[in-house]
Structure 1
Amino acid sequence: MTIPEQVKIGAINYKVQEKTLVDNATENWGLCVFYDNHIEILEGLSEERKEQILVHEILHAIFYESGFEEQDEDLVNRVGITFHQFLKDNNLFHKQDVN
């Protein structure tokens, strides 16, 4: 799968960026920045790991756009892993044009 340049969540387009450092920290693999609508993913990860991180950060954006400003990281981690596997197992993880 190719990491898309953007994803649309609700009415908001989020740019997806691969970066050498995420949030200027070496331990972060991904980040969702709500105030300017972008998702950062660490360069150099395996493609499968990038997919998993993207799904995780998309879930943060979905919760945020649904009105959940405070989020439980453990919940997002668990649902993200399961949702990523669901997308892969059902051949639903492919790039689509975002309008």
Structure 2
Amino acid sequence: MQLPKSVLIDDIEYKVEEVSHKELQLSSEDFKNEYWGETRCKQASIRICEGMADDETKITLVHEIIHAILQERGFDQQNNDEAMVDGLAHALRMLVKQNPELIKEVLS
């Protein structure tokens, strides 16, 4: 999958880049879990682990975009709920994938 160079979230341009798995782990404060993506709101950047399968890359990007949306909207507590963010990412991706006409209508 070719990642976009950036994504607009509430009129803030988040730079999107692929980085090595090792780089993501080194930047994490939580050494107990592995990370496949990271959102840095203060730097307005989203970092995605390189070398993943397309579907994994897509869901990780959606997951990180949800983190950015929650942060920009002030939902700090919910933003820290990884299970909720992951569930929303999977549900949103399936909604868009399974209902393209609905999405077109809603966005028009």
What TM-score range do you get, normalising by the shorter chain?
0.7 to 0.9
Size of the aligned set, in residue pairs, is: 92
- Shift of residue 91 of structure 1? 4.0
Alignment partner of 1:90 out of 96, 99, 102: 99
Q: Deviations over 1:31-86 (max 9, x none)?
A: 10011000010001001110000000000001111111232211101111111112
Secondary structure in 1 matching 2:76 = coil
RMSD of the alignment, in Å?
Answer: 1.9
The structure having more radius of gyration, on CA atoms, is 2
1:49 lines up with 2:56 in the alignment: yes
- Shift of residue 11 of structure 1? 1.7
Q: Percent identity?
A: 35
Higher relative contact order (CA 8 A, sep 6+): 1
Secondary structure in 1 matching 2:74 = coil
- TM-score, L = length of structure 2: 0.76
After TM superposition, the runs of 4+ consecutive aligned structure 1 residues lying more than 6 A away are none
What are the equivalent positions in structure 2 for 1:1-99 lying under 5 Å apart? Answer: 2-21=2-21, 22-24=24-26, 27-70=34-77, 71=79, 72-91=81-100
| Structure 2 unaligned regions, length at least 5 | 102-108
Contact 1:23-1:31 at 8 Å conserved across structures: no
| Structure 1 unaligned regions, length at least 5 | 93-99
Distance 1:91 1:4, change over 3 A: farther
- TM-score, L = length of structure 1: 0.82
